[in-house]
Amino acid sequence: MDNMNMKMKMDQMDRCGHLSIGMEAPDFTANTTFGPIRFSDYRGKWVVFFSHPGDFTPVCTTEFVAFAQAYPKFQQRNVQLLGLSIDSNPSHLAWVRSIARTTGISIPFPVVADRMGEVACLYGMVAPDVSKQETVRNVFIIDPNQIIRAILIYPLTNGRSIPEILRLVDALQTTDADKVVTPANWQPGQPALVPPPQTYSALLEREKDPEELGLTCKDWFWCYKQLPSGKENAGNK
């Protein structure tokens, strides 16, 4: 990249906005290792859209291998994986080919080429105080209506926990399917929590006979509900 383009990119990163939970995921078109895509074409699926600092780097390589190994589990949950870095498509192609030759693992999801950082800017994937030339390790979990439901941000130096991303997808899908919330360290198959009552009469009803409501309570605002078996992966329905 020449100096003028580099300066333009750095100036752009200084002006990038930030997304938050509850916002609609911005639409974009881009070239990828699977060909051109439009993000809105993924409507109807959950999407885990994640950025990595750069191709041919060790931490990113281990993450891509881990995402590829977990890919069938994401598919079971109706989740589309989508990667991105500020690298060219030829660089992405050479890197995923190198991973396949080295490990025998093919990368089964698209990687967005974003050489000028336009998509990274749109999604606030660059932390200018850390680097203006690389994305940090963002994860956006986006629902089938293309609403951003969760955002995780890891530093350049430390790889992500793929099991935690899967667990959070399970929790979000369970919340949507059963109108429950999930406690700390929740795992699929464990009891979920129900939201606290919103009226005094509902409070009294819950205190009087929580078992009749299918609840196990520690206090009127703190009640668990055991979900029917097989309901935790709502996204694959």
The set of catalytic residues is 60
Angle between helices 89-103 and 58-69 (to 10 degrees): 70
Q: Pairing mode, if any, of strands 111-113 and 79-85?
A: parallel
Can you list the positions of beta strands (E) in the chain?
Answer: 29-30, 37-38, 46-51, 79-85, 111-113, 137-142, 148-154, 192-193, 216-219, 222-225
Burial of 129-140, coded b for 16+ CB within 10 Å and e otherwise, reads eeebebbbbbbb
**Three-state DSSP state, 109:** coil
3-state SS assignment for residue 85:
strand
- Residue 207: count other Cβ atoms within 10 Å of its Cβ: 12
**Distance of alpha carbon 36 from the chain centroid:** 21
* Contacts with 144 (C-beta within 8 Å, 6 or more apart), sequence order: 43, 44, 45, 46, 78, 235
